[in-house]
Structure 1
Amino acid sequence: MTVNVLERNNVKQFGQGSRPIVFAHGFGCDQDMWRYIVPQFERDYRIVLFDYVGSGASQLHHYDPIKYSHLNGYAQDVLEIMDVLDLSNAVFVGHSVSSMIGLLAANQESRRFGDFVMIGPSPRYINDLPDYYGGFKRSDIDELLNMMQMNFFGWASYLAPIVMNNPDRKELSDDLEKTFCSRDPHIARQFAETTFLSDCRKDLQYCSVPSLILQCSDDSIAPIEVGNYLHAHLQQSTLRLMNAKGHYPQLSHPEETASFIHQYLTAHQQ
């Protein structure tokens, strides 16, 4: 059976520029997460948005629990999208786990990638002490996964305000909670397991694509130690500390997020 990749992943294209910029959402989200950022790039770039299978308006019947039990399954889809659209020298903006999905894809076909922008990235969420601090103990992740299985909507209600971390703007965590709750609970739980048990530290050394690491302040998912680790282990990386708190600066602080991306791309035009 021939798969229509663009329909499978609900791919959208627009913008007046020629250089492609691909926005890749993180766990539990969809392409709507970029709604405040995208208008600031439409004039100068070819915008590409998509949903991972199991997220947003993707085609759920293409979900394969074996394929998507590893981040390489998602990376394969990214490469298929880029192949169908014939993208090269693209800017890949990955939020959270999408930063590592993009890196895995680029390690296979680097010519398609010109620059990375990694927002709240982490190569490993679980601590590997004393050498590595990811922010979580294995028991923390197991508890999270159990909560998702036992009470999915309770999990969404609990997690959204913690990871958004903007308590004076309740509408942001409410919107995030609604997005979490719109996912298929079984697929969301497996994506969580694939994400939070992943370990991409050994893959960092093979990445030759220049990257901007946007490190949020007070991020419960990707603490500053993780940003520093990535900066130390990624060739040609630039680390920028943001005033934005939480794990979703594209929603809570879109102007700051877009400004950092513009500054970086202007300085690294190719």
Structure 2
Amino acid sequence: MNARLVGSGSDTVVLAHGYGTDQSVWDKILPDLARHHRVLAFDWIFSGAVKDQDMFDPVKYSSLDAFADDLIALMEEVKPGPSVYINSEGYEGGFDISEVEQLLSSIESDFHSWASSFAPLGVDPNDPPSVTKFQNCLKRMRPETALSVAKLIFLGDQRDMLDKVTVPCTFVQTTNDFVVPNSVPGFMAKKIKGKSTVEVIEADGHFPQLTAHLQLLEVLRDVPGFDL
């Protein structure tokens, strides 16, 4: 999983990237985080940054449980102590079923063309370097892996898990996210059992750590118990 642990502090920030990216998506905020915390960054098994892409088993990883097991195993190996988990991926119905079917069909028929067209939708098109970074990360994935994980994400429904979440959560949403509608964080915050807040960043795209990293750091500074 290409795990790396940097920085120092009594607690650990765990950075988990989302679909189509790798741990480099956190590069803009990692130095600030590492000044006050230990930071654990890694690549999910589906990432194009994983050297041996044969390690991805589409049967095993047809459930989110397998990814959870990988993260638990990594945490047990690293033994990070008290941790804050930051995840860059969330999906709760930004597309209707016909749009999802079209998206999956496009990935299956011509993955690289789809990646080229999807990148500026997922990232602020007014930030060409970030669009290029996302596009390059996306295209590093094996097409068959990209399709398998896309099916898991876009056809999955994890809403019944929300009321099992008891830890405090801060949901960060941009004002214009093509992938996740603005109603989603509020819905999730109401459903989970832990104390939760919703923070909105004035930015476009699904990746504020790329296109609005200073604003994201400001949000993190206000998270209770999270020092920067």
Q: What corresponds to 1:175 in structure 2?
A: 133
| Alignment partner, residue 129 of structure 1 | none
SS at match of 2:112: helix
Matched, 1:142 2:101: yes
Equivalent residue, structure 2, for 1:20: 12
User: 2:116 and 2:184 mapped to 1: Cα distance?
Assistant: 26
CA contact (8 A) 2:10 2:82 kept: no
CA deviations 1:204-231 (Å, max 9, x no partner) are: 1011110000011111111111111111
Residues 1:260 and 2:182 are matched in the alignment: no
Gaps of 5+ in 1: 1-8, 97-120, 125-133
Distance 2:204 2:39 in 1: 26
Q: How far 1:58 sits from its partner (Å)? A: 5.0
Deviation at 1:233, TM superposition (A): 0.8
TM-score for the superposition, normalised by structure 1 = 0.80
Determine if the alignment matches structure 1 residue 86 to structure 2 residue 71. no
Alpha-carbon distance change, 232 to 183 in structure 1, aligned in 2, over 3 angstroms: same
Matched residues in 2 for 1:150 and 1:167: separation?
25
Compute the displacement of 1:60 (Å): 2.2
The aligned counterpart of 2:41 is 49
Q: Is the 8 A contact 1:71 1:198 kept in 2?
A: no
Code of the aligned partner of 1:38: L
C-alpha distance in 1, partners of 2:52/2:17? 16
CA RMSD of aligned residues (A): 1.4
Shift of 1:170: 1.9
* 2:220 partner amino acid: I
Higher relative contact order, structure no. (Cα contacts within 8 Å, ≥ 6 residues apart): 2
Q: How many residues align?
A: 225
Aligned letter for 1:227? P
Alignment TM-score, normalising by the size of structure 2: 0.94
Q: How big is each residue's C-alpha offset from its partner over 1:234-253, in whole Å with a ceiling of 9 and x where there is no partner?
A: 22111111112110100000
3-state secondary structure, aligned to 1:41: helix
What does residue range 1-270 of structure 1 map to in structure 2 within 5 Å?
Answer: 9-55=1-47, 56-57=49-50, 59-96=52-89, 121-122=90-91, 124=92, 134-164=93-123, 166-235=124-193, 236-266=195-225
Unaligned runs of 5+ in 2: none
Cα distance in 2 between the residues matched to 1:42 and 1:170:
27
What fraction of aligned residue pairs are identical, expressed as a percent?
A: 28
Q: Tell me the alpha carbon deviations over residues 56-106 of structure 1, each in whole angstroms, 9 at most, x when there is no partner.
A: 13532321111111111111111111111123321000011xxxxxxxxxx
